[in-house]
Structures are given as structure tokens and as C-alpha cells.
Amino acid sequence: MRIGVLTGGGDCPGLNGVIRAAVTKGVKEYGYDFVGFRDGWKGPLEGLTMELNLETVRDILPKGGTILGSSRTNPFKIDGGVEKIKENLAKHGIDALIAIGGEDTLGVATKLDALGVKVIGVPKTIDNDLNNTDYTFGFDTAVNIAVEAIDRLHTTAESHHRPIVVEVMGRHAGWIALHSGMASSGAAVLIPEVKFSVEKVCEYVLSSFKANRAPIIVIAEGAIPQDGDMVIKDQSLDAFGHVKLSGIGDWLAAEITERTKYETRCTVLGHIQRGGTPTAFDRVLSTRFGLQAITAIHEGDFGKMMALHGTTIARVPLASATSELKLVQPSLYAEAEVFFG
């Protein structure tokens, strides 16, 4: 059996953990061969490969990013893209493909599965917004990075009696904002799922100062004000039709300054949240996903995504993971709201 592996979409800590686990178990237990496809779907599309064996994966578990490279290539947007992928898989003698990615990469995997490609999906994204899995790896690392940053921002905010707005990633789902804001006593947490009132945020700022605290407002990049629109960087779209976000934090900081007269600063955490070594949680989760992906291949159970259900690694239909996004439920948001202000 010869297995192809690719990582697509925005990178995240833990991708190498999946690659290492799949290759190690595949080689040691079943004698499988592996081929790494470079840069997401661009790899099988253009026949870009790299060697994957016990030697190449041995020391990669603590390494951030992905040794395979990544891209947001969408083969369904390229003329003859699917045929080229099928040709290249055949040329390299690939019997099964492991696609490690988020909604876009696994969306492509879902369509290829329907077209007869033997594919297994592994969910990754710092955004934690893939459906039918309790967590994706990368999320825990991103939250811990954000919490460390916010803890540091608290001390400088207090010294200068300033509000600070911290913009974190999360286009459609506010998981990073919710968890990092709860873990670091944010004076407000603003997420895409719940439109926010600038007036209310300013009330939280003033009540924080009254309680002798300098407020930190944690805002997801996709959060939307009640009387406004999502803030985008420019008009360009990626191959999956996504806009580039970022800017809402600066916008909100200016509004707070004007309305409360407290000089407000904004810190955009950006790609720092996606970089560096994975936490122990993400190392273990990515490893378990990689191991189970090989078991699924060994059992011929294709068209499935590995998923965390409680503490068990389950297999769910690929389509169920990508048909809708996993958003923050109102009840969870209400738990965070208790601490606002």
C-alpha cells in the first residue's frame, strides 16, 4: 500500500505530529510506503512530491508549521484540476490519500471522495470551527499563545491606565477569542456569532476603570458591530472565496478613545497565533489523529474524517465535518459574559 499525505490551508502547530504518527505507524505496523505531496492540493495537482519515511519524520513532532508546505489551492477552480489530481495519484501509485486540513481542504477531499478517490481527512485549524469534532489541533496552541500575550498586555495596560483591544484570529467562529478571553479575564469578548454594541463595550471599559482595572477587550477578527460591517483588509478573495480580515481591533480602539476619552491601544496578534511549537495537548491530539488515520486506511474505511468525541478518536463522514461550521453557542458565550466589565 502506498499512501499520499498533504497539508492544506492555513498552517497550524500539530501538522507535523499527524505526519509523523501516520508514517511511523504505517511503516512499522503495516509496511506501507509514503509519498508527501507539497503545498496542499497544489502537490497532487502539479505532481510536487517529497520523500516521507521514518527518517524524515523522526524529529518533527515539536516543530511548528508543516514539513510538506501548504497552500490554499482549490483544484475545483482550475480547468481539468480533478483529472490532473487523479492522473498524478495514479502516476505515483497512490492507493490512499490523507488530507490534513480545515473546511476548504476537507471540502475538496469530500468532493474527491464522491468522485472515487480513496481519501481520509484529518481536521486541523487554529479556529476550531470544523463540525463534528470537539476540538481541532492547533486551537489549544493558539489559545495559549493569545493568553500569554494578553497576560502581558494586562500589566502594561494597568501601568498606563489604558484600555487595550486585542484582535485574535477567527473569521466566522469566535472560539479563540472566547477561550483566550475567558482564560485571561477579558473585560469583554467579542465574537463573530454575536454582533456587538460599541456603547456596551464602552460601558464595560468605564466600569472596569471604576473597579481599578485597566480593561482588555478581546475581539475576533470577524466580529461585527451592531451598526456596521465586517472590517476587511482589501477586496481580494482567495481560491475558496474568503476575504482577508483584520482591522476591526483598530476600528474599535478608535471608537473607545473617542467615546470614553481613555486613550486606547490595539494589538493584533495575527500569525503569531499559528506559529511555533505545539502544546502538549496538540502534540497528543495530532498524534492520535495520525495513528487512527492509518487504522482507518488499513480497514478500508475511506471518506471519513478523524474526530475527537470526548476522549475518543471517532471516524465521521467527511461531508458531516464540512457541511456547516461549528460556531460558539449562545450558552457558552453567556458563561463568558458573566465576567465582562
Contact positions vs ligand F6P (CB under 6 A): 9-10, 102, 125-127, 169-171, 221, 245, 274
9 vs 181, beta carbon nearer ligand F6P: 9
- Contacts of residue 281, defined as CB under 8 A and 6 or more positions apart, other chains included, come to 140
CA nearest neighbour of 210 among 163, 277, 268: 163
126 vs 191, beta carbon nearer ligand F6P: 126
75 vs 222, beta carbon nearer ligand F6P: 222
Q: Cβ–Cβ contacts within 10 Å for residue 325, how many?
A: 16
Cα(34)–Cα(50) distance, integer angstroms: 9
Put residue 78 in one of left, alpha, beta given phi > 0 → left and psi -120 to 50 → alpha: beta
List C-alpha distances in Å: 306 to 7, 20, 294. 15, 16, 10
Angle (CA) 131 52 108, round 5° = 30
Active site residue 229: no
**What's the closest the beta carbon of residue 321 comes to ligand F6P, in angstroms?**
15
9 vs 65, beta carbon nearer ligand F6P: 9
Reduced to 3 states (helix: H, G, I; strand: E, B; else coil), residue 199 is helix
**What's the closest the beta carbon of residue 231 comes to ligand F6P, in angstroms?**
12
Cα(206)–Cα(200) distance, integer angstroms: 10
**What's the closest the beta carbon of residue 12 comes to ligand F6P, in angstroms?**
7
27 vs 146, beta carbon nearer ligand F6P: 146
Cα(290)–Cα(306) distance, integer angstroms: 9
Enter the C-alpha cell of residue 10.
492555513
**What's the closest the beta carbon of residue 101 comes to ligand F6P, in angstroms?**
9
**What's the closest the beta carbon of residue 126 comes to ligand F6P, in angstroms?**
5
**Catalytic-role residue among 127, 129, 140, 282:** 127
Active site residues: 127
